[in-house]
Structure 1
Amino acid sequence: MSNAAARTGIPIVLAYSGGLDTSFLVPWLIEHERRPVITVTVDTGGIDGEAARALAERARALGAVAHHQVEARADYFEQVLRFLIMGNVRRGQLYPLCVGAERVMQAQTIARLARKLGSDTVAHGCTAAGNDQVRFEVALRTLAPDLKVLAPVRDEAFKRQDELEYLQQRALPVPPTGASYSVNRGLWGVTIGGRETLTSAGSIPDDAWLLTRDAFTRPRPAERHVLGFRAGRPVALDGRAGSPVGIIEALEALAAPFG
């Protein structure tokens, strides 16, 4: 942190998902960087009106001076997702590129907004455990090399239990998932990380699944649905025309109960 930035109160723009890592970072950055924090949530899917309100309320309760939610679903589809669909792109021919594919879109949106807000610093909550740190920082340093990038969760090696206790000791709101699971939801899917995912010995409990809860304990009869495509783009579901984003979200609602 520069002394000039601290004196003038130039805000830090934090990429905010509302999970434990980024919730912890709001008060931690305020305390340790001695600067105001503005939280930014880039909506690349999976955030309804109720969730958006909860994110904004929690961010302000944690100490953010302002919260911005940026609608980016249509741009995400046009710039990224449509190419994954056209190419049937999957990692190892199996794993959908769901959450990781969103990061460049989120990074460029946050960089653009940081400049608009007059900030010289952005922060993210990536750990050292995965590739999101690379996706975020390569994008940010390429698109906005003038911005300073902070990654305290990675650089300080904070543990999730430490973050939870930090919030609890200050009577600050804790995300619903607590310290048990890290959940990322977007237009193209959901990822869940937790203690059971570190080995192959056990499985995540049923109540931890965000969309497919009870899918295996309460099986349903099969259903048939028809997707319509034009030039590789989804244009209809069961004969009803719609936008690509609307079709994907409707299909998710139909498929989720089946796991």
Structure 2
Amino acid sequence: MSDIKKVVLAYSGGLDTSVILKWLQDTYRCEVVTFTADIGQGEEVEPARKKALALGIKPENIFIDDLKEEFVRDFVFPMFRANAVYEGEYLLGTSIARPLIAKRQIEIARQMGADAVSHGATGKGNDQVRFELGYYALKPDVKVIAPWREWDLLSREKLLAYAEANGIDISKKKNGGSPYSMDANLLHISYEGTVLENPANEPEEDMWLWTTSPENAPDSPEYVELTYRQGDIVAINGVAMSPATVLAELNRLGGKHGIGRLDIVENRYVGMKSRGCYETPGGTIMLKAHRAIESITLDREVAHLKDELMPRYASLIYTGYWWAPERAMMQTMIDASQATVNGWVRLKLYKGGVYVVGRDSDDSLFDPTIATFDEDGGAYNHADAAGFIRLNALRMRIAARQKQKRG
């Protein structure tokens, strides 16, 4: 293992990655660089610096980066242009964060002359795939250290014992804290483990951190108007906002009204089924609104083609292929479709529901003079429909005749 001289670790400052930091020092005898990404997880990231210093990391080897704007602008917004949903429900909150973390980790590895990168993903999950596909796509010769696939610290008790033996701060873990395995960023927060491992168990109400229960949400609806430019939200209620600010405000509104809770059993890429609960208040609002503005600005066949391709696009993100050429190719097509996705959408938020109550655009393809049930001044000739129907029925008429001949 002496060929590893310097490694960049994706470091949260929590128990797992703190143990990994010390384990890398002990096992590989290498210099460790820590990288902590602030992508809106809602926790202080600066304590990670203090913990890294306590474990002997040089100040110049500690990176704590605010990536919230880049995260929403370059990853979340492009994904929502595609209306991406995995297996019909999951809005890909964890999945979409991994390519950004991998990208920045590789940038730091190049900057610091590191020959390896490391992460804290387990050998059972999707994240190991997502991180490592990103690493190899961006730096094909990089060495990857995945401790969970190498060490024997495969239980919480062993991790705690290792931490205590090496003077790693575990006070939060010893004093309790959340019993769930959680992952959070500006798009969502996820919960796994403990009682959730039985799909028959209803989540406890006090598990949810971002959203009011729909039953306790305000008794009066709230209206919100979103302004779109080329498929992205640029203003809320007429106030221009940056991408990260947009998502933070929609999280606040959605959380207030009990929007965005999800309880699913999903198919992991590594082969097993996994039960998880998610809160994605802002993303739930964004998906509903984006489909609404597209409904009046996209050509029918373009919209249908996007819907056909969306499950493949969503699966690529879920399984870690953000940096793959096929995802980039699909993104080019998706982005091209958004040139006319401009205008506004008005929504009503109420008791866990998001309701579209209005939409308009200067690029709208909705023509009221044609769609009207009243006289349209000759814009549409009803008689034309007869020939249209007969031509489309031709193949079925031919097949029916053949069936009649066969008796």
Q: Same fold (TM over 0.5)?
A: yes
1:59 offset after TM fit, Å?
A: 2.8
Superposed CA RMSD in Å reads 2.4
Distance in 1 of aligned mates of 2:170 and 2:230: 45
Answer whether contact 2:46 2:64 (CA < 8 A) is retained: no
Distance in 2 of aligned mates of 1:94 and 1:81: 16
Structure 1 equivalent of residue 245 of structure 2: 246
* Bigger-Rg structure (1/2): 2
- Pick which of 117-126 and 21-30 moved more: 21-30
Structure 1 equivalent of residue 112 of structure 2: 117
- Confirm whether residue 189 of structure 1 aligns to residue 182 of structure 2: no
- Confirm whether residue 202 of structure 1 aligns to residue 201 of structure 2: yes
Answer whether contact 2:73 2:243 (CA < 8 A) is retained: no
Structure 2 equivalent of residue 2 of structure 1: 2
Answer whether contact 1:125 1:154 (CA < 8 A) is retained: no
Structure 2 equivalent of residue 131 of structure 1: 126
CA distance 1:196–1:230, change in 2 (3 Å): same
Answer whether contact 1:89 1:96 (CA < 8 A) is retained: yes
**2:161 corresponds to which of 147, 150, 165:** 165
Unaligned runs of 5+ in 1: none
**2:21 corresponds to which of 23, 26, 39:** 26
Answer whether contact 2:6 2:114 (CA < 8 A) is retained: yes
Distance in 2 of aligned mates of 1:250 and 1:244: 10
Aligned residue pairs, count: 251
CA distance 1:175–1:13, change in 2 (3 Å): farther
Structure 1 equivalent of residue 218 of structure 2: 220
CA distance 1:172–1:217, change in 2 (3 Å): farther
Structure 2 equivalent of residue 180 of structure 1: 179
1:217 offset after TM fit, Å?
A: 7.6
1:179 offset after TM fit, Å?
A: 8.3
1:215 offset after TM fit, Å?
A: 3.5
Structure 2 equivalent of residue 236 of structure 1: 235
**1:96 corresponds to which of 91, 98, 118:** 91
1:136 offset after TM fit, Å?
A: 0.8
- Confirm whether residue 85 of structure 1 aligns to residue 80 of structure 2: yes
1:203 offset after TM fit, Å?
A: 4.1
- Confirm whether residue 71 of structure 1 aligns to residue 66 of structure 2: yes
- Aligned partner letter, 1:168: E
- Secondary structure in 1 aligned to 2:196? helix
Structure 2 equivalent of residue 54 of structure 1: 47
Answer whether contact 1:126 1:132 (CA < 8 A) is retained: yes
- Aligned partner letter, 2:2: S
Q: Structure 1 length normalisation: TM-score?
A: 0.85
Answer whether contact 1:18 1:175 (CA < 8 A) is retained: no
Q: For each residue in 1:40-88, what CA deviation from the matched residue of structure 2 results, as whole angstroms up to 9, or x when unmatched?
A: 012333256xx02222223333443332112323323333212221121
CA distance 1:140–1:195, change in 2 (3 Å): same
Answer whether contact 1:235 1:243 (CA < 8 A) is retained: yes
Distance in 1 of aligned mates of 2:116 and 2:148: 16
- Aligned partner letter, 1:2: S
Structure 2 equivalent of residue 45 of structure 1: 40
Answer whether contact 1:18 1:55 (CA < 8 A) is retained: yes
1:175 offset after TM fit, Å?
A: 7.5
CA distance 1:27–1:179, change in 2 (3 Å): farther
Q: Structure 2 length normalisation: TM-score?
A: 0.56
Structure 1 equivalent of residue 270 of structure 2: none
1:202 offset after TM fit, Å?
A: 2.4
1:153 offset after TM fit, Å?
A: 1.5
1:156 offset after TM fit, Å?
A: 2.9
Sequence identity of aligned pairs in percent?
32
- Pick which of 158-167 and 121-130 moved more: 158-167
Distance in 2 of aligned mates of 1:43 and 1:163: 25
CA distance 1:56–1:144, change in 2 (3 Å): same
Distance in 1 of aligned mates of 2:247 and 2:111: 31
CA distance 1:225–1:136, change in 2 (3 Å): same
- Aligned partner letter, 2:133: V
Q: For each residue in 1:116-145, what CA deviation from the matched residue of structure 2 results, as whole angstroms up to 9, or x when unmatched?
A: 112111110111222111111111112112
1:195 offset after TM fit, Å?
A: 1.6
1:23 offset after TM fit, Å?
A: 2.2
- Pick which of 68-77 and 58-67 moved more: 58-67
CA distance 1:70–1:246, change in 2 (3 Å): same
